[in-house]
Amino acid sequence: MMLLSRLIKHPDNPPSLEEKRSIQLKPVFSTAADEQENVDEDISSKDTLERERQQIQQEWQKAEEMKQQAQKELEQTRKKISEEEEDSKHRIEQAFSEAKDNGYKAGFEEGEKEGQHSYEKALQEVQNIISSAKDEHYHYLERAEPVILDLALAVANRIIYESLEDRDGTWLEIVKNAVKEVKEHEEVTIYVPVSRYEETKQQRQEMENLLAYSQELVIFPDNILGDSDCVIETPYEKVDASLDSQLKELKEQLEERLKEGNADESS
C-alpha cells in the first residue's frame, strides 16, 4: 500500500522538552454502562455504514449513467460526422461535375478553378463539423471527471475504513509504511490512538527492524487521535500518517494530474 504523507518540518534544532506536548493516557475501566454504550455505538456505526454504502452505490449508479450518456453522445456524434462526410463527398462530386460541365461551355480552365474552390469549401465544412464534435465530447467528459474522481475516492475511503474495522492487518501496514519514511533517524516515536495501542505495541519488534539506526522504537497512546490517526516524530520532523491526511493528499495529486492531462489535450 502506497503511503502518501505530509511532512511537517521542525526547526533546525531539536525541540526542547518544554516544547513537546504532553500525551494523555486514557484510563481503562470496564463497567456494564460502558459495555452497553459500546453496543449502542456499534449499532449506530453499522447504521451509518449502511447509509454511506447506499449513498456510494447511488453515486456509482449516477456515474455509470453519465458514462453511458457520454458514450451514447459519442456514438451519435460519430454517426453525424459519417453522414456529413458522405453528404459532403456527394456535394463535392456534384459541384466538381457541374463546374467541369460548365467549364466545357465557358472554358475548361475557369470551370476547373470553380470546381477546386467548391471542393475546398466542402472540405472545410467537414473539418469544422469534426472539430466541433470533438470539442463537445471533450467538454462533456471534462465535466464528468470530478464526479467520477470523488466517487472513486469515496469507495476507496470506505474500503480502507472497513478493513481497519475488521483489524485484518491494514492498520499495521499503514504504520509500517510510515516508519519506513523515517528509518534513517536515530530517535523515533509513534503516537497512536488508545484503541490501537495494544495492537501496535505487539508489532514493535518488527517495526524496530525497519529502522536503520534507532535502537529502540517508542510507542505512546494518545487519546486525542482518532481511530485511523497516526503521528510519527523524530527530533527533526513530524510525519502525519493519518488515513484522512493520506486520502486528502491523494485527491489533490489526482486532481492536479487531471488538470495537467486536460491542459495537454487542449493544447
- pLDDT tens digits for range 234-259: 888 888 888 777 777 777 777 777 67
Domain harbouring 185, CATH code: 3.30.2320.30
pLDDT at 191: 94
pLDDT at 1: 43
Q: 101 CB contacts (<8 Å, ≥6 apart)? A: 111
pLDDT category of residue 5 using cuts at 50, 70 and 90: very low
Half-sphere exposure of 91 (CA within 13 A, CB side): 16
Q: Is 197 among the domain residues?
A: yes
Q: Is 149 among the domain residues?
A: no
pLDDT at 58: 74
DSSP letter string, 99-166: HHHHHHHH-HHHHHHHHHHHHHHHHHHHHHHHHHHHHHHHHHHHHHHHHHHHHHHHHHHHHHHHHHHH
Q: How far is CA 94 from CA 20, 104, 110, 197, in A?
A: 86, 16, 17, 83
For 84-93, the pLDDT digits (tens) are 667 766 766 6
| pLDDT at residue 16 is higher than 50 | no
Q: What cell does 71 get?
A: 458514450
pLDDT at 65: 75
Give mean pLDDT, residues 11-28.
Answer: 45
pLDDT at 21: 45
Q: Is 27 among the domain residues?
A: no
Strand order across the beta sheet in which 6-9 lies = 6-9, 237-240, 231-233, 188-192, 217-221
| pLDDT at residue 108 is higher than 60 | no
CB burial of 4-31 (b: ≥16 within 10 Å; e: otherwise) equals: ebeeeeeeeeeeeeeeeeeeeeeeeeee
Q: What average pLDDT does the chain have?
A: 68
Q: 193 CB contacts (<8 Å, ≥6 apart)? A: 221, 222, 223, 225, 226, 227, 228, 229
By the 8 A CB rule, do 160 and 72 touch? no
pLDDT category of residue 264 using cuts at 50, 70 and 90: low
Q: Which position has the higher pLDDT, 32 or 254?
A: 254
pLDDT at 22: 43
Q: What is the DSSP letter of 194?
A: G
Q: What cell does 3 get?
A: 503511503
Instruction: Report the 10 Å Cβ neighbour count for 219.
Output: 17
Give mean pLDDT, residues 226-234.
Answer: 88
For 34-72, the pLDDT digits (tens) are 555 555 555 665 666 677 677 777 767 776 777 677 677
Q: Is 44 among the domain residues?
A: no
Global model pTM greater than 0.85: no
107: left (phi over 0), alpha (psi -120 to 50) or beta: left
Phi and psi at 222, nearest 5°, equal: -135, 115
Number of domains in the chain: 1
Cell numbers 503516537 label which residue?
191
By residue range, what is the domain housing residue 235? 167-266
Q: Is 176 among the domain residues?
A: yes
Q: Is 181 among the domain residues?
A: yes
Phi and psi at 9, nearest 5°, equal: -75, 135
| pLDDT at residue 3 is higher than 50 | no
Q: How far is CA 216 from CA 57, 188, 195, 205, in A?
A: 46, 8, 22, 9
For 170-220, the pLDDT digits (tens) are 788 888 888 888 888 888 899 999 988 998 999 888 888 888 876 678 999
Maximum separation of any 2 CA atoms in the chain, in Å: 109
Instruction: Report the 10 Å Cβ neighbour count for 70.
Output: 15
